[in-house]
Amino acid sequence: MKKGLVRGRSIESVVAAAIYAACRRMKIARTLDEIAVYTKANRKEVARCYRLLLKELTIDVPVSDPVDYVTRIAALLQLSGATIKTSVEILNKAKEKGLTAGKDPAGLAAAAVYIAALLNDERKTQKEIASVAGVTEVTVRNRYKELLQQLKLELPPQ
């Protein structure tokens, strides 16, 4: 308000952008889409306000880590702690090999949860996981194939 950033913009979209920025700073895994759903403004307007806040207020926001999304996805699917642990291990190996750069963190987390669920014999479909993660089935499938191939993971016979 003091910098006059609200003037000419919907207060609602500025507040939504501020909430998204706060979530990112506190490493609370929420997508822009998830926050924009609760506003009358569209996603594009919230994203524009978010970029403006970052630029004008010089806010330092860390890059989203796929690991931050794992617990939320697994909790919503009611998966075990072992599956969460396996998912995090898969993502850490992927990070070491540089496979996460430039990829959507929610998609990577969803694929890691899918692989971990298969390894721990907790059957969940790609559709279920994609829905909870807020990504498409195609994203889950593509990241899943990449992770299996690049990390040379062996799945039990289905």
pLDDT (tens digit per residue) in 36-94: 888 888 889 999 999 988 888 888 888 888 998 999 899 999 999 999 999 999 999 99
User: What pLDDT is attached to residue 41?
Assistant: 83
User: What pLDDT is attached to residue 17?
Assistant: 92
What is the model's pTM? 0.79
Say which residues have a Cβ less than 8 Å from residue 37's Cβ, sequence separation at least 6: none
User: What pLDDT is attached to residue 59?
Assistant: 83
Q: Is 146 left (phi over 0), alpha (psi -120 to 50) or beta?
A: alpha
How far the first Cα of the chain sits from its last, in Å, is 57
Q: Say which amino acid occupies 54.
A: L
User: What pLDDT is attached to residue 147?
Assistant: 92
pLDDT (tens digit per residue) in 84-142: 999 999 999 999 988 888 888 999 999 999 999 999 999 899 999 999 998 999 999 99
| pLDDT greater than 90 at residue 6 | no
User: What pLDDT is attached to residue 80?
Assistant: 92
Domains and CATH numbers, the chain: 11-56 (1.10.472.10), 66-151 (1.10.472.10)
| pLDDT greater than 80 at residue 3 | no
> What burial class does residue 11 get, using C-beta atoms within 10 Å of its C-beta: 0-12 exposed, 13-18 middle, 19+ buried?
exposed
Tell me what the pLDDT averaged over the chain comes to. Answer: 89
Distance, CA of 158 to CA of 143 (rounded, Å): 20
List b or e across 115-132, with b for residues whose CB sees 16 or more CB atoms inside 10 angstroms: bbbbbbebebebebbbbb
Distance, CA of 65 to CA of 104 (rounded, Å): 9
SS3 of 123, please?
coil
User: What pLDDT is attached to residue 65?
Assistant: 86
pLDDT (tens digit per residue) in 25-37: 888 888 888 888 8
Backbone angles phi, psi at 76, to 5 degrees: -65, -25
User: What pLDDT is attached to residue 90?
Assistant: 94
